[in-house]
Structure 1
Amino acid sequence: MTSGLKRNPPFRAEHLGSLLRTEKLLDARHEWEAGKDSQENLQAVEDNDIREIVKIQRDIGFHAITDGEYRRHMFWGEFWPGLEGMTEVAEPDPSIFRMYIPDIAAFTEAGYKPGETVICTGKVKHVKSTYTKQFDFVKDLVPKEEVKNIKLTLAAPNWYHLRYKQGQAYPSDVYKNDDEYFEDIAKAYQAELKILYDHGLRNVQFDDPNLAYFCSEAMLEGWKKDTQNTYSADELLQKYINLYNACISQIPSDMHVGVHLCRGNFVNSRHFSEGGYDRIATKLFQELNMNTYYLEYDTPRAGGFEPLQHLPKNKNVILGVITSKFPKMEDLGEMETRVREAVKFMCKGTGETEREALNRVGVSPQCGFASHSSGNAIKRPDMIQKLELVRALADKIWPGEP
């Protein structure tokens, strides 16, 4: 692991990948989904808007450029079509879901179907990359020396597991247990990451609401009451950490990997889960082999900075102290105070000086601006102001650094 934020990812000013779409892009996608327009016309709108949003990011001063996730309907994209053995279910039976999982509860309470339902129906095998076209397009929009900074957000490897009841994620005649299933999921990610690396990708961010659910008392209580579960929530968290570590076990040393613990940013800016990182901090920071943690810290629902005592010296943290949910602008001085408060806890755990610890920190919004393509309770001009505020905060704390 490489410590410190230099000229390689992560950077002092970051955002979490998804950015608000234009009305033209939303209309084009709706027309295409309804069968009223062609894929070619949708792609032309996507291409134009991606060029624009890349320019906006670069003009503001961001280095970990993304395509705004403009080719996706939801933040996780579509990894599964590149996998043999995975099948989308258009009208899933609600009985397959653990209804106490926070995003399932949020979707159903709001009158929506749970987000994209994909289950394993046969042995999982990686057969093609579903991300390279997204990355390659952005690669052509930046100078060659900046390609290594482009950030691609990937689906969490546990996404198609936690939400389903015991025995529903895969058939028992295909996989005997979770460990067998996870072994093939890890191989699929190893294959995808190798292809992306060969295309020039060096900056990966996994988007994972599920890990944050292990901080949620509501989820944990639901888990305890579910008599079908064969092991505890703590045991499952350990399995997910092992799964992640297997997924990234073969990446070269110059590929940066981070994980965003998302608490949800649904329609009308609703979040999915609450609870501080305290409960999972030791395992999360010390056993999960990530370079960087992108953490939500915009409201008290994420708890205090105390868990950062457990962050090792060789790992970075991006503090999401600015909200992407509501347009009210944060006070720059207050945000700087919060960052320096977080650093004090890092020092308490490692014995570093504040200057040394601050070298492993960056700032960002707490989440993306459009985890769902329709966006949330914030408008595009507000989003740009928020991104400018992130850059201004980084410049105030680390003048002259990227």
Structure 2
Amino acid sequence: MYTTLHRNPPFRAEHLGSLLRTEKLLDTRHAWEAGKAKESDLKEIEDKDVKDIVALQQEIGFHAMTDGEYRRHMFWGSFWPGLEGMTEIETPDPDLFRMYIPDIAAFTEEGYKPGETVLCTGKIKHKGSTYTDQFDYLKSLVPEDQVKNLKLTLAAPNWYHLRYKQGKAYPKDVYASDDEYFADIAKAYQDELKILYDHGLRNVQFDDPNLAYFCSEAMIAGWEKDDLNIYTTDELLAKYIALYNDCIAHIPPDMHVGVHLCRGNFVNSRHFSEGGYDRIATLLFQKLNMHTYYLEYDTPRAGGFEPLQNLPKHKNVILGVVTSKFPKMEDEEEMVRRVKEAAGWMAKGTGESEKEALGRCGVSPQCGFASHSSGNAVKRPDMIEKLKLVRRIADRIWPGEP
């Protein structure tokens, strides 16, 4: 496990991966989707915009740079096309979904269909990476010694399970149980991570709204009323943690893995779920084999810092105290104070000093700026100022560190 932030991921100043697209990129993508532009036209503007956003990150002083997720429509990046046995359903039956799952509820209330709907229709097997082209172009834009710092965001392995009603995620004649289904999902992620490692990737961030849903009283209330469910929420959370641990079981020692617990960042900056980490802190921090947790702490809906007492000494936390949802700038002094408050709670749990606990911290926006490619209520100049603020906070607390 990584015990220092000084030279390897994660860094003192981080962002969560997705960055606002240019209007030209959005217009070109929409034209391509409508059959009015060539794929080569889209790739040309993607390449230019990725190059420009990397230059911006370098200028501001970020080291865990991403391509802004500019080649994706949504944050999860469409892992499923690289898998046999997964099929996209264009017009899903509403009866397929647990309607109380926060993102399903939010999409439905806003008049959208529930995101990308992909179901298992046969035995799952990895057949090729959908991420290598994205990463290969990104690494071509930086010096060789910086490639290890580049960050790629990956879809959560539980994404195509929680949202569907019990028994709907896969056919019973394909998998007899969730455990069998999860075993093949884990093997697919193991294969994906090996391929990406061979391409030079050393810094992985899983984006997972689902884990945060287990903090939501509304979701838990809906779950308990659902007679189809065969697990308690605690039992299912434990299964998801075991799934993650299997996915990363074979990563090499120099591959850094982290998980971002997202509460949603939909159109107009709507969030999906609320609730502090208290309910899941012990399992999340002590049983999940991640090096780093990227946590949302921009509003009271995430609760207080007290659950960080459960974070072991060998794990890091990136504190998302700056919001990516709204343009109003946070007070720099207040953000410095909040980061130190969080370190105080970490120290209380481990017996280390606050300074030692700060050694395992970094700061970031609480979420990406464009989890959905269309973005949210923040405009590009606002995003740049927010990123600069993150860098300034980090420089105040950890002067001279990346």
**Matched residue, 2:64:** 64
Aligned equivalents of 2:243, 2:210: Cα separation in 1: 13
Aligned equivalents of 1:43, 1:195: Cα separation in 2: 23
Q: Secondary structure at the match of 1:319?
A: strand
**Matched residue, 1:50:** 50
Deviation at 1:342? 0.4
**Matched residue, 2:168:** 168
Q: Any unmatched runs of 5+ in structure 1?
A: none
Aligned equivalents of 1:378, 1:361: Cα separation in 2: 26
* CA deviation vs aligned residue, 1:223-262 (integer Å, no higher than 9, x gap): 0000000111110000000000000000001000000000
Aligned equivalents of 1:4, 1:272: Cα separation in 2: 33
**Matched residue, 2:220:** 220
Deviating beyond 6 angstroms after TM superposition, the runs of 4 or more aligned structure 1 residues are: none
**Matched residue, 1:17:** 17
* CA deviation vs aligned residue, 1:195-225 (integer Å, no higher than 9, x gap): 0000000000000000000000000000000
Is 1:121 matched with 2:121?
yes
- In the TM superposition, 1:223-242 aligns within 5 A as 223-242=223-242
Aligned equivalents of 2:101, 2:229: Cα separation in 1: 13
**Matched residue, 1:308:** 308
Aligned equivalents of 1:266, 1:79: Cα separation in 2: 20
**Matched residue, 1:385:** 385
Identity of aligned residues (%): 78
* CA deviation vs aligned residue, 1:1-43 (integer Å, no higher than 9, x gap): 1112111000000000000000000000000011111111001
- In the TM superposition, 1:265-284 aligns within 5 A as 265-284=265-284
Aligned equivalents of 1:230, 1:150: Cα separation in 2: 40
**Matched residue, 2:148:** 148
Deviation at 1:302? 0.1
Aligned equivalents of 1:285, 1:393: Cα separation in 2: 25
* CA deviation vs aligned residue, 1:124-170 (integer Å, no higher than 9, x gap): 00000000000000000000000000000000000000000011100
Aligned equivalents of 1:233, 1:123: Cα separation in 2: 26
**Matched residue, 2:8:** 8
**Matched residue, 1:375:** 375
Structure 2 counterpart of 1:360, which letter?
R
Q: TM-score, normalised by structure 1?
A: 1.00
Q: Secondary structure at the match of 1:161?
A: helix
Structure 2 counterpart of 1:359, which letter?
G
Aligned equivalents of 1:63, 1:23: Cα separation in 2: 26
Structure 1 counterpart of 2:381, which letter?
P
Aligned equivalents of 1:300, 1:232: Cα separation in 2: 27
Q: Any unmatched runs of 5+ in structure 2?
A: none
- In the TM superposition, 1:201-350 aligns within 5 A as 201-350=201-350
Give aligned pairs, total: 402
Deviation at 1:192? 0.1
Structure 2 counterpart of 1:2, which letter?
Y
Structure 1 counterpart of 2:317, which letter?
V
Deviation at 1:176? 0.5
Deviation at 1:180? 0.3
Structure 2 counterpart of 1:370, which letter?
A
Deviation at 1:296? 0.1
**Matched residue, 2:356:** 356
Structure 2 counterpart of 1:169, which letter?
A
Aligned equivalents of 1:239, 1:110: Cα separation in 2: 31
* CA deviation vs aligned residue, 1:94-144 (integer Å, no higher than 9, x gap): 100000000000000000001100000000000000000000000000000
Aligned equivalents of 1:192, 1:235: Cα separation in 2: 27
Aligned equivalents of 1:393, 1:334: Cα separation in 2: 10
Aligned equivalents of 1:228, 1:190: Cα separation in 2: 31
Q: CA RMSD in A?
A: 0.4
